[in-house]
Amino acid sequence: MFRVTRHPILPTPTRTEIPFFWGGRELRAQSGETISAALFANGVRIFGHHPKDGAAQGIFCANGQCSQCLVLAEGVPVKSCMELLRPGLHIEPVEGLPALPGVNAAEELSPLFKDIEEVRVPVLIIGGGPAGLSAAIELGKLGVEALIVDDKHRLGGKLVLQTHRFFGSIEAVYAGTRGIDIATRLESDVRSFPSLRVWLQAAALAVYSDRKVGVLLEGRRYLLVAPEVLLVAAGAREKNLAFPGNTLPGVYGAGAFQTLVNRDLIKPTGRLFIVGGGNVGLIAGYHALQAGISVIGLVEVMPECGGYKVHRDKLARLGVPIYTSHTVLSANGTERVESVTVARVDERFRPVAGTERSYACDTLLIAVGLDPVSEFYEKAREFGLKAFAAGDAEEIAEASAAIFSGKIRGLEIARALGVDVGEISQEWWRTAEVLKSKPGKTVPEIVPSAESGVFPVLHCNQEIPCDPCTAVCPNELIQIGETDIRMLPAFLANKNGKGCSGCERCVAICPGLAITMVDYRKDPEFPTVAIPLEFLKETLQVGDRVTVEDTEGQALGRVEVSSVKAIKANDRTVIVKVRAPKEYAKKIAGIRLQPESESDPLERYVERTDDDSIVCRCERVTAGEIRKIIRAGSRDINEIKALTRTSMGSCGAKTCTPLIHRLFREEGVPESEIVDQPKRPLFLEVPLGVFAGLGGEKKKGSGDE
């Protein structure tokens, strides 16, 4: 019941069942899944309790960054979101402080070490996501040797979580293809080049002053990689938000949620609420609906959602209320999320008293932006190692931009190694800039005046880089400005004597599901409207009466479904046809699937007064404690650290540092006055013995090495 058993886009293969033990109880999992996925599949959300205040602990990032998901596997603390389950594994929750392991005096006094292997490579790429793979492919084409290390157990990075079709340019970055399929293509290209090597479950730990990179393979084998050039394509980590209840199990980063649902095929929630209206939050909401999860609402603090309008509109049309100029006040519950309280904000983003409302939900998704994972790049530069960064590790943007920046970095790296790659064309630089651009202006939608024949209606009224609709029309009737794919598409009724044949290819390929086809040929009073849908075909049946909506989700009327077509050529996009009165047929852009009643607020709002917002999750330090120190005059994060233990926990200050900076800002302290803590060259926690090769078969200094 906690698994996604059918999905409109993703295959749901049956895998071998394996047994494992949780707190002594035998449970079943599927082979190849992480410990956290196996626990979630068995309904386990709480992985232990914090030693400081007994707060329940569970996952937050599912990406190896926050360390909230620690469990004891055969007595050893491991991040359950990164560790694959082994058959028969005994796992225990972390309750309070774990006891130190017993000491076997004979072994401990003469531990066994092995030599640390050193590997020399022309190019080391940290990160096997869109940027890293694209760079590797360019290097592969030129025969340059490169090693890709990635801490996950498959390549593709965040692409493997994306079920939707990509925006951007068909020619440059596979626009119109689903993210998961782009991952497969890039991986097979990488595997086809003999000069490229891949290490999976290989975590880069640090860049050292001798310009070597420490890599931990499968959590056990430690190696030093000495590259001539380093490419950091390690992506981004999610920003956190401080509010009461922010660490309750059930409060996840958006990436964690997508990992559970789309990679692990786990259904971690029945009722989801989202904070953040950027592309990440909007897409995560869409993915939740595709997996059969109700999305109760989304709050965005700004007056408009920051993500693409087509993503926002898709969600609104499916029936998800979007509350702009709203913020989250608290997540409520004792051991896990039971409800969320939100409120409207004024022009200075302060909650407006009297506007509080609570909604019952079991999961709160935080999608408030990303920070580049840039520490490897910064250290490499500091130590004089030739280094490049690409994708989100360089600048946060869409995955299509990461693909293209990776291609450019691949050529730049080859050139840095002395390979003659000529000049990188101006056109490439321009494409890179276009793909990175933020959504442009929104214009009023133009409804075509025609009321005969058949033609597409383009419900696309915001400038974003996207062109798949122009490439699929066999008669070239959809056009975008010659020079800039950010311009809005326009439909020509006729070109070279040919008009629209009603082939519906544009309807099926639009990544924003923003094209419908209106056909007056059979009945001019009740034309047929073809609407794209990325849900299981059985979701709607011929004869069903449905609510149809305009672009932004306003109901237009109730009409009958006349056909539901799922053909292979449409690549899992279902085309639903309805017959609608001509008065509003051209305005129809979507069908509501989620009933309005799902989103009713609770009768009274839930006020949470029992705790403060947590800033440091690992050491459970509150915003109140830190504010007090700032108000007493401190400007030095090292001082805050010494007084409260903030940022001394196992995540290595990755989740709390941006929040501490935010507290300074809120207290009116300029960034220039803040003294940051030093960044030392170890970015992931590992047992110390790893660096000495502990666990080898030969005794160091025994003379037989």
Contacting positions for ligand FES (CB under 6 A):
59-62, 64-69, 79, 81
**Closest listed residue to residue 314, CA positions, set 474, 516, 499:** 516
Which residues are paired to 271 by β-bridges? 294
CB of 59 to ligand FES, least distance (A): 4
CB of 235 to ligand FES, least distance (A): 14
Distances in Å between the Cα of 321 and the Cα atoms of 67, 185, 275, 704 are 33, 36, 12, 70
- C-alpha of 63 from chain center: 10
Q: What is the DSSP letter of 671?
A: G
- C-alpha of 641 from chain center: 30
Alpha helices in 4-102 (DSSP H): 35-41
CB of 203 to ligand FES, least distance (A): 11
Measured from the CB atom, is 69 or 508 closer to ligand FES? 69
DSSP SS3 for 688? helix
Distances in Å between the Cα of 13 and the Cα atoms of 32, 165, 185, 242 are 12, 22, 20, 39
DSSP SS3 for 379? helix
CB of 67 to ligand FES, least distance (A): 5
CB of 340 to ligand FES, least distance (A): 20
- C-alpha of 418 from chain center: 36
Q: What is the DSSP letter of 699?
A: -
Triad 602, 606, 612: Cα angle to 5°: 150
- C-alpha of 405 from chain center: 19
How far is Cα 633 from Cα 645, in angstroms, rounded to an integer?
18
How far is Cα 284 from Cα 54, in angstroms, rounded to an integer?
31
Measured from the CB atom, is 22 or 605 closer to ligand FES? 22
Measured from the CB atom, is 258 or 516 closer to ligand FES? 258
Tell the burial category of 668 from Cβ atoms under 10 Å away from its Cβ (0-12, 13-18, 19+).
Answer: exposed
CB of 432 to ligand FES, least distance (A): 31
CB of 614 to ligand FES, least distance (A): 14
Measured from the CB atom, is 83 or 187 closer to ligand FES? 83
Q: DSSP letters of 241-262?
A: ---TTTTSTTEEEHHHHHIIII
Neighbours of 97 (CB within 10 A): 9
Measured from the CB atom, is 39 or 576 closer to ligand FES? 39
Q: How do strand 90-92 and strand 545-549 relate by DSSP bridges?
A: unpaired
CB of 61 to ligand FES, least distance (A): 4
Measured from the CB atom, is 18 or 69 closer to ligand FES? 69
Which tokens belong to 407? 């291609």
CB of 209 to ligand FES, least distance (A): 27
φ and ψ at residue 337, rounded to 5 degrees? -70, 130
Measured from the CB atom, is 67 or 290 closer to ligand FES? 67
Alpha helices in 604-649 (DSSP H): 623-631, 637-644
Say which amino acid occupies 426: Q
CB of 82 to ligand FES, least distance (A): 6
Measured from the CB atom, is 79 or 409 closer to ligand FES? 79
CB of 587 to ligand FES, least distance (A): 44
CB of 81 to ligand FES, least distance (A): 3
How far apart, in Å, do the first and last CA atoms of the chain sit? 54
DSSP SS3 for 488? coil
Measured from the CB atom, is 62 or 556 closer to ligand FES? 62
Alpha helices in 260-369 (DSSP H): 279-290, 309-318
Q: How do strand 478-479 and strand 94-95 relate by DSSP bridges?
A: unpaired
Q: How do strand 271-275 and strand 294-300 relate by DSSP bridges?
A: parallel
Measured from the CB atom, is 34 or 551 closer to ligand FES? 34
Measured from the CB atom, is 64 or 465 closer to ligand FES? 64
Distances in Å between the Cα of 612 and the Cα atoms of 84, 345, 361, 557, 622 are 35, 20, 21, 46, 6
Q: How do strand 56-57 and strand 17-22 relate by DSSP bridges?
A: unpaired
CB of 440 to ligand FES, least distance (A): 35
Measured from the CB atom, is 64 or 489 closer to ligand FES? 64
What is the rounded radius of gyration, in angstroms, for the C-alpha atoms of the chain? 27
Measured from the CB atom, is 61 or 198 closer to ligand FES? 61
How far is Cα 167 from Cα 84, in angstroms, rounded to an integer?
33
Measured from the CB atom, is 81 or 591 closer to ligand FES? 81
CB of 576 to ligand FES, least distance (A): 38
H or E stretch at 323: strand 322-324
CB of 527 to ligand FES, least distance (A): 50
Measured from the CB atom, is 70 or 124 closer to ligand FES? 70
Tell the burial category of 231 from Cβ atoms under 10 Å away from its Cβ (0-12, 13-18, 19+).
Answer: buried
Measured from the CB atom, is 61 or 148 closer to ligand FES? 61
Helices (H) and strands (E) in the chain, counts: 16, 36
CB of 250 to ligand FES, least distance (A): 13
Measured from the CB atom, is 61 or 393 closer to ligand FES? 61
Neighbours of 87 (CB within 10 A): 11
CB of 536 to ligand FES, least distance (A): 30
Neighbours of 468 (CB within 10 A): 26
DSSP SS3 for 673? helix
Which residues are paired to 92 by β-bridges? 72
